[in-house]
Amino acid sequence: MKPKSKGTGWADLAIASSVILGASAAAYWALKSGPPVRQGLLPFDERDVEAAARMLASENPSGSEALHVEQVYTQVRQALRSGISLYERITAGSGWGEQGERAGRGGVRPVATGRPAPAALRERARAILEGAYVSRFEGATKFFEPETQERAFAIAEIARMKRQAGLPLEPKEERLLKYKRDAAGVREGWEKGGGERLGVVDGVEFWS
Per-residue pLDDT tens over the stretch 2-20 = 444 444 444 443 334 343 3
The answer to whether 175 and 98 have CB atoms below 8 angstroms apart is yes
Q: Within 10 A of 75 (CB to CB), how many other CB atoms are there?
A: 23
**Per-residue pLDDT band at 39 (split at 50, 70, 90):** confident
**Per-residue pLDDT band at 22 (split at 50, 70, 90):** very low
Type of residue found at 150: E
**Per-residue pLDDT band at 101 (split at 50, 70, 90):** confident
In angstroms, the CA 43 to CA 84 distance is 10
**Per-residue pLDDT band at 103 (split at 50, 70, 90):** confident
Per-residue pLDDT tens over the stretch 49-87 = 999 999 999 999 999 999 999 999 999 999 999 999 999
Judge whether residue 37 has pLDDT over 50: yes
In angstroms, the CA 97 to CA 110 distance is 10
Per-residue pLDDT tens over the stretch 105-140 = 678 899 999 999 999 999 999 999 999 999 999 999
User: For the chain, which residues make up each domain, given as ranges?
Assistant: 39-136, 143-194
**Per-residue pLDDT band at 143 (split at 50, 70, 90):** very high
Largest distance between two CA atoms of the chain: 106
Per-residue pLDDT tens over the stretch 167-196 = 999 999 998 999 999 999 999 999 999 999
pLDDT at 23: 41
Q: Cα separations (Å) of 167 from 156, 160, 162, 170, 179?
A: 14, 10, 5, 10, 19
pLDDT at 106: 77
**Per-residue pLDDT band at 36 (split at 50, 70, 90):** low
Type of residue found at 136: R
